[in-house]
């Protein structure tokens, strides 16, 4: 096995662990959140983490068994106005998060 593939496998293994931890976090958040919209959001985020994990695992398995990368389908980007900020300013984001999570705790 080449050093390049060994390094890629180590990174992919770490990425799988991160995605698994994210999935478990969102599952716990979904179970402990009382707000229905919050539960729906956490459920969708958990599903996203599972999809990421499947893609990463697919790459990992292809590299371990065939020493090659799997080609992923081409994704067409969504047009967006790059002059507008993608995320709100830090004060706005903090105020939103404080309001959203006020009175809610994860067990």
Residue-level pLDDT, tens digit, the chain, 107 residues: 789 999 999 999 999 999 999 999 999 999 998 888 888 999 999 999 999 999 999 999 999 998 889 887 766 767 777 777 655 555 665 565 566 556 555 44
First vs last C-alpha separation in the chain: 44
Q: Are 8 and 67 in contact (CB under 8 A)?
A: no
Per-residue pLDDT at 107: 44
- Distances from the Cα of 96 to the Cαs of 15, 39, 90, 91, 102, in angstroms? 29, 17, 10, 9, 10
Per-residue pLDDT at 83: 79
Per-residue pLDDT at 76: 72
Per-residue pLDDT at 14: 96
Domain-by-domain residue ranges, the chain? Answer: 3-73
Of residues 69, 94, 65, the one with CA closest to residue 1: 65
């Amino acid at each position: 096995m080449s050093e390049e593939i060994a390094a890629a496998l180590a990174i992919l293994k770490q990425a799988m662990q991160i995605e698994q931890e994210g999935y478990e976090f969102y599952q716990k958040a979904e179970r402990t959140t009382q707000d229905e919209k919050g539960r729906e959001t956490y459920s969708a985020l958990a599903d996203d983490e599972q999809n990421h994990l499947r893609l990463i695992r697919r790459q990992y398995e292809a590299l371990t068994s065939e020493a090659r990368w799997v080609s992923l389908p081409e994704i067409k980007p969504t047009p967006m106005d790059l002059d507008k900020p993608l995320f709100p300013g830090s004060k706005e984001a903090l105020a939103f998060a404080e309001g959203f999570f006020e009175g809610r705790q994860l067990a």
